[in-house]
Structure 1
Amino acid sequence: MLPDSEIKQEFDVRRAAFAATIGNMLEFYDFITYSFFATEIGHTFFPATSEYGSLMLSLATFGAGFLTRPIGGIVLGIFSDRVGRRPAMLLSFALMGAAILTIALTPSYAAIGIVAPIIVIVARMVQGFALGGEVGPTTAYLIEIAPPRDRGLVVAWQPASQEIAATAGALVGVVLSSTMAPDMLQAYGWRVAFLIGAVCLPFGIWMRRTLPETIPHGAHAADIAERSSHLKLARRHLRVIVLAVMILASGTISTYVTQYMTTYAKTTLHVAPSLAFTVSLVSNGLQVIGALLGGWLADRFGRKPIMIWPQLVVLVLTYPAFLWIVQAPGAWSLLFGFGIVSFIGSLPFTAFYAAFTEALPQSIRGGVFATIYAVAIASFGGTAQLVVTWLLHVTGDPLAPSWYLLLAAVVGLIAMSLMPETAPRPAKYDT
């Protein structure tokens, strides 16, 4: 039996990790919800002469949120290193809340004309800024509160919380698409989905206000800031940063193509909306399990094996899975084929989160992780759905998403094989 002090320490870690990631989860719920309802939002704010044109304008606005991510990563990431993790996470959360409410309550193009899409675009850019500064401080915070032997599992709540958010968004989509007629879903159903997330904002702010701080304060903190700079220290870790960009590019393409599966299933495979949302619900739920399992395995076998082997399996399975989905679009192929790829594909990135965060010194950890993450997401995540939609339109081949995923998987696998091992003890821990 553990002494009382150790029991209290473990309880505090669990509570702090929950408080940090519940905010992250709520933010990603609303950010991802936009991609689920891209078609309906396109009709509301971006009327066009063709279905393809309306969808592309909607996805371009989704991508606009990525333009400000690097700015948010730099500003809020460095802010978290200098002032504290908690203030940075509170600020990003408040900005996200304002943007969510703005999008949910903005009248349609038919009601106020060109002002409507302008408001939505600005709100998306605020969301992007907030999320750009969210992941770095949160991931740094998780690695700093975790015992060394459990860092992988604790940090796993970062990607897991994102998948929980995606699962919640898909669940809301399933319920709304099953209970609302198509015209009702387009008129206000998607707004309901956004407002559900907004209702949770006060709880998220309260939880984050209770977090203990993990970076030094006072004279010691001032001394660190005076003796070092983010850019100077980052140059010493240039190799691992370049590899991280490659891995994050691979991961974000996979993530946002996955989130696009709802739109893909509806517009390309022409399956029922309820099945399309169910596919996202199942695949995202499996990725939650995969993210946590990946962190647990990374603590016991090291970071690199859990990055490399699952990524190799994904590389082998992606094309056959999409071939099955396209040739026999239905519940079994979509749920089982895509679900398996999603589950295995979620394993390596938890190990990567731990490895990259451990490779950076605390004084630049939040800023560098946030900036690199935001740049990779802005460059590849913001364009992923546009690229896939364009490929589908130009080629007319429903297998086009698999080409992009295969390219991303190859890049990720190469970078993962070159990453250093950072686990405190690469071999199994004693039990």
Structure 2
Amino acid sequence: MQGSTTSAPAVKSKAGAVFRVTSGNFLEQFDFFLFGFYATQIAAAFFPASNEFASLMMTFAVFGAGFLMRPLGAVILGAYIDDVGRRKGLIVTLSIMASGTLLIVLVPGYASIGLWAPALVLLGRLLQGFSAGAELGGVSVYLAEMATPGRKGFYASWQSASQQVAIVVAAALGYALNQWMAPVDIAAWGWRIPFAVGCVIIPFIFLLRRSLAETEAFQARTHRPTMKAVFRTLLDDASIVILGMLMVAMTTTAFYLITVYAPTFGKSVLQLSTADALMVTLLVGVSNFFWLPIGGMLSDRFGRKTLLAAMSLLAAITAYPALSYLAQQPSFAHMLKVLLWLSFLYGIYNGAMIPALTEIMPVEVRVAGFSLAYSLATAVFGGFTPAISTWLIHITGDKAAPAYWMIFAAICAFCATLVLYRRLRLGAPVPA
């Protein structure tokens, strides 16, 4: 294995470096999406209960529990990456993530091993969450540090764009299974096939990560903080982390609403076919992939603040009318139309948000600070979006109720953006 002293010119091209570093993001989101889409089958296999609502809520609670580990992973693994380097740290996060994925795939059902089944699935999700706490931050900072001058937004946006490829591939696999297998077979064991595919590609992703070069920005640093120093710096800059968390709230809530929760929403709430729900999600992933780099480029041109404020305000104004229109007239075409609109808002916003978050954090704890803000937002907002959406619909009887949660997140993001940029005066693009 090459050491962290590998120079940036060793990477054949910028595109190659982007592909290598974002490969782990693909695996993470691939597995997370599958967990959300096959929530009904997972609930039956590991969390049997007296009624479908209770079983599904337990499944989504375990799904959300993984996000509670993210802040811990953000601080511990984020500090490790800030100390040893982006390359070595990202290999460690991938190892932990792969362990959690393998565990979930191999666990027998509740009928075979009883309570051990949900306990081991929970352990797998906790491992995934701990790893993901620093994975996103490590990848985003790597991309920002390797970016050419004036194009930091464009390069950093590929962190999220890689996740959309995972959504498309996972949705395509699910669609194919739905065409080739009977529903009873999918429920019994077929749902494990896409997870197994994720496990098969793990060795390939390890090879990609091992060939990464360390960033020149990290190599140029003469001071690397200890874990104690990282904690002290994060505490001293707690207000920046909290404002960053609120800024991420819009991203993480919108993303899990239009991707992970969307198939369940389409099938269970709107009563659309499995094939229609999967196809909508696949097309949303393509849409996200298209808009994210555009959002990054626009933020390089016009500034982060402008896009962040405009998109979060648009989301707060339009989320409920859009979902209410869909709930009143559920159909494949209407679901696609509404989710593509939300995809546009998410893509442009997140394309600007990722580089903004790398810029506002103190350079010596850039990975830890970014990861902590992102992880807290995912734990508080995004990770529990499927569970909260299910609960809101249940208690209100309003099929458009998930919009309330997105509106709240968008308002938090809008206010945080205004306060943050007033304090930091970073409304204009920051030089790379």
Same fold (TM over 0.5): yes
Change (3 A) 1:227 1:390: closer
Q: Partner residue of 1:97?
A: 98
Q: Partner residue of 1:252?
A: 252
Q: What is the CA-CA distance between 1:322 and the residue it aligns to?
A: 0.9
- Which residue identity does 1:252 align to in structure 2? T
The CA deviation string for residues 259-292 of structure 1, in whole angstroms up to 9 with x for no partner, is 2111111111111111111121111221111111
Output aligned runs, 1:272-287, within 5 Å. 272-287=273-288
Where 2:57 maps in the other structure, the secondary structure is helix
- Which residue identity does 2:392 align to in structure 1? L
How far apart in 2 are the matches of 1:191 and 1:321? 34
Deviating more after overlay: 261-270 vs 244-253: 244-253
- Which residue identity does 1:265 align to in structure 2? G
Where 2:49 maps in the other structure, the secondary structure is coil
How far apart in 1 are the matches of 2:237 and 2:12? 34
How far apart in 2 are the matches of 1:224 and 1:88? 14
Change (3 A) 1:52 1:419: same
Q: Partner residue of 1:3?
A: none
Please state if 1:234 is matched with 2:268. Answer: no
Q: What is the CA-CA distance between 1:360 and the residue it aligns to?
A: 2.1
How far apart in 2 are the matches of 1:287 and 1:71? 29
The CA deviation string for residues 120-177 of structure 1, in whole angstroms up to 9 with x for no partner, is 1111111111111211111111111111211000000011112222222222222222
Q: Is the 8 A contact 1:301 1:426 kept in 2?
A: no
Q: What is the CA-CA distance between 1:379 and the residue it aligns to?
A: 1.9
Q: What is the CA-CA distance between 1:59 and the residue it aligns to?
A: 0.9
Change (3 A) 1:224 1:69: closer
Change (3 A) 1:310 1:236: same
How far apart in 1 are the matches of 2:340 and 2:157? 19
Q: Is the 8 A contact 1:89 1:137 kept in 2?
A: yes
Q: Is the 8 A contact 2:292 2:348 kept in 1?
A: yes
Q: Partner residue of 1:166?
A: 167
Q: Partner residue of 1:119?
A: 120
How far apart in 1 are the matches of 2:265 and 2:52? 13
Q: What is the CA-CA distance between 1:296 and the residue it aligns to?
A: 1.1
The CA deviation string for residues 58-99 of structure 1, in whole angstroms up to 9 with x for no partner, is 111111211211111111100000011111111111111121
Q: Is the 8 A contact 2:248 2:353 kept in 1?
A: no
How far apart in 2 are the matches of 1:26 and 1:330? 31
- Which residue identity does 1:93 align to in structure 2? L
CA RMSD of aligned residues (A): 2.4
TM-score by length of 1: 0.91
Q: What is the CA-CA distance between 1:225 and the residue it aligns to?
A: 2.7
Please state if 1:363 is matched with 2:381. Answer: no
Q: Is the 8 A contact 2:308 2:417 kept in 1?
A: yes
Q: What is the CA-CA distance between 1:226 and the residue it aligns to?
A: 6.5
Q: Partner residue of 2:64?
A: 63
Residue identity over aligned pairs, in percent, reads 34
Q: What is the CA-CA distance between 1:357 and the residue it aligns to?
A: 0.4
The CA deviation string for residues 5-58 of structure 1, in whole angstroms up to 9 with x for no partner, is xxx799632221211012211222112210111111001111111111111111
- Which residue identity does 1:309 align to in structure 2? A
- Which residue identity does 1:341 align to in structure 2? L
Where 1:229 maps in the other structure, the secondary structure is helix
Q: Partner residue of 1:37?
A: 38
Deviating more after overlay: 10-19 vs 89-98: 10-19
Deviating more after overlay: 167-176 vs 133-142: 167-176
- Which residue identity does 2:106 align to in structure 1? L
How far apart in 1 are the matches of 2:381 and 2:102? 27
Change (3 A) 1:425 1:60: closer
Deviating more after overlay: 312-321 vs 266-275: 312-321
Q: Partner residue of 2:187?
A: 186
- Which residue identity does 1:243 align to in structure 2? L
Change (3 A) 1:265 1:113: same
Where 2:154 maps in the other structure, the secondary structure is helix
Please state if 1:197 is matched with 2:181. Answer: no
- Which residue identity does 1:234 align to in structure 2? L
Change (3 A) 1:123 1:417: same
Q: What is the CA-CA distance between 1:237 and the residue it aligns to?
A: 4.0
Q: Partner residue of 1:308?
A: 309
Change (3 A) 1:204 1:244: same
Change (3 A) 1:270 1:242: same
Change (3 A) 1:234 1:95: closer
Change (3 A) 1:271 1:257: same
How far apart in 2 are the matches of 1:111 and 1:243? 46
How far apart in 2 are the matches of 1:302 and 1:266? 40
Q: What is the CA-CA distance between 1:297 and the residue it aligns to?
A: 0.9
Q: Is the 8 A contact 2:304 2:429 kept in 1?
A: no
How far apart in 2 are the matches of 1:29 and 1:84? 26
Where 2:418 maps in the other structure, the secondary structure is helix
Where 2:225 maps in the other structure, the secondary structure is helix
How far apart in 2 are the matches of 1:396 and 1:28? 31
Query: What are structure 2's unaligned runs of at least 5 residues?
Result: 1-8
Deviating more after overlay: 103-112 vs 10-19: 10-19
The CA deviation string for residues 381-423 of structure 1, in whole angstroms up to 9 with x for no partner, is 2322211111111122111111111121122122223332547
Q: What is the CA-CA distance between 1:228 and the residue it aligns to?
A: 8.9
How far apart in 2 are the matches of 1:91 and 1:9? 21
Q: Is the 8 A contact 1:73 1:133 kept in 2?
A: yes
How far apart in 2 are the matches of 1:74 and 1:233? 11
Change (3 A) 1:212 1:10: closer
Change (3 A) 1:292 1:425: closer
Q: Is the 8 A contact 1:71 1:129 kept in 2?
A: yes
- Which residue identity does 2:243 align to in structure 1? L
Where 1:419 maps in the other structure, the secondary structure is helix
Output aligned runs, 1:11-410, within 5 Å. 12-214=13-215, 216=218, 221=222, 223-225=223-225, 229-235=229-235, 237-258=237-258, 259-410=260-411
Change (3 A) 1:224 1:88: closer
How far apart in 1 are the matches of 2:218 and 2:274? 50
How far apart in 1 are the matches of 2:417 and 2:427? 14
